[in-house]
Amino acid sequence: MIPIAISMLRHDGPKFMALVLAVALAAFLTQNQASILSAFLGMTGSQIRDVREANLWVMEPDTECFDQAKPLKQTAVQTIRGFSGIEWAVPVVKVDTNARTEAGKLSTVTLLGVPEDSRVGEPRMKLGDASAIYRRDGAVIDPGGFSLLFPGQTFKSGMKVRIHDEWLTLHGISDAAPPFTGFPVMHVSQTTAMRLNRAEARATTFVVGRMLPNADQQAITAAIRRETGWKAMTRTEFENASYDYYAAQGVPNLFYITIAIGFVVGIAFTGQTFLMFVKENARAFTTLKVLGVTHGQLGRMMAAQAGLVVFMGLGIGTALAVGVTEAAKLMPFLRALYIPWEVALACGGVIAAVTFLAAGFAFNKVLKLQPADVFRS
């Protein structure tokens, strides 16, 4: 009976199309929004992940995330180096300040100072050489930041950006992960960063370090917290803390609303269309009941119809979401966008459940069809 069910659905072209498009739209909306949300929240740890060598982050106790950090004294580095189990520790200077191009384009930028001696946190490069940042006026910039400060322009080594009263020369495009804030990320030497950090020139934003292999990381971070009063976290813990900080800010609620709309649209459209399909095919369903098709067989027929709708709708919706994501990734600020397989799986599962639920409502109508009505003209 399954092929009959499929034929019945495909024969009713407009409703078949409406069902598939409703599921496709719901799949697209939910996957697109969920992937944007997860990508954005994933960006909250971009600069933490970019310091690949470090597995220890130490900061002021009031610091809640990477972008909202209070400075530590430079002496904090020596203090951390003194703890047992620490292989090395270096300062990371982060400065949020304003930058202006020669054309007058203005933007807040995040300056990250890389220590000249250890070079911990030195960026990977898409274009140019990272060692240029150790020149007095040297800097590199991330792709999104370059697009923002130099819209429509092609990078040329020697382009300049003014911070305070100093002109920095850009020597390359880094592969720094896009930040959550959307500000351009510029890597400079630690000396340059501290020089440009006028308010707190003798401070460091974080102390990052590496704990010895096989060391008890929890015991080390606990000891630092206990003995210094600072926050000390493993890299993963700091990533999670930054993620949680932004997740609690309310922005995700907007995405949750859109995702919820996607599901509501899905259930409303598919439910309504399935009901209309049953209503307009009531004679056919009644005839099948009279001819001895059992409720179980009818249920399997409707499940097959829902399955086809899910298969096609989810396929189209997912393909659309992937297409839009890939297109969006061409924009530098959105290059971190991707659809995590967990998101695709969860959205697919929920949409399939919603569609089968809608088909279940419609099946309830089929159950209520009176076989004797088959004799009505």
Partner 1 sequence: MNAETTTNAVHCSAIRKSFGSGETRTEVLRGIDFTASRGEMTFLVGPSGCGKTTLISIIAGLLTADEGHVSLFGEDLSALSPREQILFRRRNLGFVFQQYNLLPSLTAAENAAVPLLAAGMNRKTAVARASEMLDQLGLGHRVSAMPRVLSGGQQQRVALARALVHEPRLIVCDEPTAALDHKSGESVMNLLATSAVHPDRAVLVVTHDNRVFHFAHQIAHMDDGVITHVEQQALNSRLQSSPS
Site for partner 1, rule CB under 8 A: 1, 3-4, 7-8, 10-12, 283-284, 287-294, 297, 370-372, 374-375, 377
Residue 143 makes CB contacts below 8 A (sequence gap 6+) with 126, 173, 174, 175, 332, 335
Contacts of 303 (CB under 8 A, 6+ apart): 356, 359
To the nearest whole angstrom, how small is the minimum distance from the Cβ of residue 294 to partner 1?
5
Nearer to partner 1, 166 or 373 (CB): 373
Q: How far is CA 376 from each of CA 14, 109, 284, 291, rounded to the nearest angstrom?
A: 26, 76, 13, 16
Minimum distance from CB of 305 to partner 1 (Å)?
Answer: 12
Question: Least distance in Å: CB of 284 to partner 1?
Answer: 5
Closer to partner 1 at the Cβ: 11 or 124?
Answer: 11
7/98 with CB nearer partner 1? 7
C-beta atoms surrounding 125 within 10 Å: 18
- φ, ψ dihedrals at 57, nearest 5°: -125, 125
Q: Using the minimum distance from each CB to partner 1, give the nearer residue, 204 or 281.
A: 281
DSSP SS3 for 102: coil
Comparing CB distances to partner 1, the nearer of 214 and 377 is 377
Nearer to partner 1, 188 or 308 (CB): 308
Q: What are phi and psi of 53, to 5 degrees?
A: -75, -20
Which is nearer to partner 1, 235 or 289 (by Cβ)? Answer: 289
For the CB of residue 301, give the shortest distance to partner 1 in the complex, in Å.
11
The whole-angstrom distance between residue 293's C-alpha and the CA centroid of its chain comes to: 49
> Shortest distance, CB of residue 4 to partner 1, whole angstroms?
7
Smallest gap from residue 356 Cβ to partner 1 (A): 22
Category of 250 on φ-ψ map: left (φ > 0), alpha (ψ -120 to 50) or beta: left
b (16+ CB within 10 A) / e for 308-347:
bbbebbbebbbebbbebbeebeeebbbbbbbbeeebbeeb
Long-range contact pairs involving 278-285 (C-beta distance under 8 Å, separation at least 24): 278/362, 278/363, 278/365, 278/366, 279/365, 280/12, 280/15, 281/8, 281/12, 282/369, 283/374, 284/8, 285/366, 285/369
- Tell me the closest approach of the beta carbon of residue 280 to partner 1, in angstroms: 11
Query: Cβ 148 to partner 1, closest distance in Å?
Result: 56
Closest C-alpha among 374, 366, 346 to residue 303:
366
Q: Which is nearer to partner 1, 10 or 70 (CB)?
A: 10
How far apart CA 201 and CA 81 sit, in angstroms, is 21
| Nearer residue to partner 1 within complex by CB, 139 or 302 | 302
Using alpha carbons, list the distances in angstroms from residue 101 to 166, 328, 342: 11, 26, 41
> Closest approach of Cβ 290 to partner 1, in Å?
6
